[in-house]
């Protein structure tokens, strides 16, 4: 965890915040608008999250943008989401670079169009030099898929004779996950009132603090994120130890 003190920020800031952005459709329906309007409004909330994280010194922000299960949504909605995603990749990458934000996209890219796959690669390349914040976008991502591809990669090593099965431990698996090289999430936020993690970062969230907000994603802005961070700062993270042990170490 980082210790920062910009105005309004908590004394202790999580290194890595992961967010399940939920409630776009319900936000739109409440306003008698089409679902895609909610997704468009959600882009402003993303910008607000990046702003706070850069200002407060968060190292990594991971956003669950599109799950592997979201392909089951109506074809019209999926198509609109793909257009929005492609447009955002092309339009926002320069701003990310100007603000020192490095983009990293995780998930199975094979199902995306060639244009989207190219835009992903271009955006990552153009921001590769940035170091103020790593923005991880989970697209066509599922936690079960992530663990399966890590296991498959290790099994291929064994089949080639490059490692023994006995060498496969928690660290080996973690190094093959799509988030390899990043600190594990300290805080996971879900908006929209639901209280589940929906196949998001299943391995990585083992010891993350969970925070649930009733706000729909487009309404979750700077003040809401800082409320979540203040709540996090007030929790005692024990990682299996007792409160007395933690107190003695601090």
Name the residues annotated as catalytic: 22, 70
Longest dimension (CA), the chain: 60
Alpha-carbon distances, residue 234 vs 11, 12, 14, 135, 209 (angstroms)? 10, 9, 12, 25, 11
State the burial class of residue 183 (Cβ atoms within 10 Å of its Cβ: 0-12, 13-18, 19+): middle
Which residue carries 């090593």 as its tokens? Answer: 157
Which residue carries 């980082």 as its tokens? Answer: 2
Secondary structure of residue 140 in the 3-state scheme: strand
- Helix (H) or strand (E) holding 63, with range, is strand 60-67
Distance CA 216, CA 193 (A): 8
Distance CA 58, CA 51 (A): 10
Tally of CA atoms within 13 A in the half-sphere of 37 that contains its CB: 9
């Amino acid at each position: 965890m980082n210790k920062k003190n910009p105005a309004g920020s908590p004394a202790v800031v999580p290194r890595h915040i992961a967010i399940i952005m939920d409630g776009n459709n319900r936000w739109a329906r409440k306003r008698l608008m089409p679902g895609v309007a909610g997704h468009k409004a959600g882009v402003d909330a993303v910008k607000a999250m990046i702003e706070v994280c850069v200002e407060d010194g968060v190292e990594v922000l991971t956003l669950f943008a599109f799950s592997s299960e979201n392909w089951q949504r109506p074809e019209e909605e999926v198509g609109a989401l793909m257009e929005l995603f492609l447009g955002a990749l092309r339009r926002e990458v320069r701003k990310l670079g100007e603000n020192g934000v490095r983009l990293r996209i995780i998930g199975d890219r094979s199902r995306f169009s060639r244009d989207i796959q190219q835009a992903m690669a271009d955006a990552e390349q153009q921001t590769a030099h940035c170091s103020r914040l790593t923005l991880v976008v989970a697209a066509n991502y599922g936690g079960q898929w992530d663990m399966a591809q890590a296991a498959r990669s290790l099994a291929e090593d064994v089949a080639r004779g490059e490692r023994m099965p006995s060498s496969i431990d928690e660290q080996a698996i973690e190094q093959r996950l799509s988030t390899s090289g990043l600190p594990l999430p300290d805080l996971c936020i879900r908006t929209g009132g639901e209280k589940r993690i929906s196949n998001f970062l299943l391995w990585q969230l083992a010891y993350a603090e969970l925070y649930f907000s009733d706000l729909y994603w487009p309404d979750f802005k700077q003040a809401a994120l800082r409320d979540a961070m203040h709540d996090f700062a007030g929790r005692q993270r024990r990682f299996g130890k007792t409160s007395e042990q933690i107190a003695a170490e601090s």
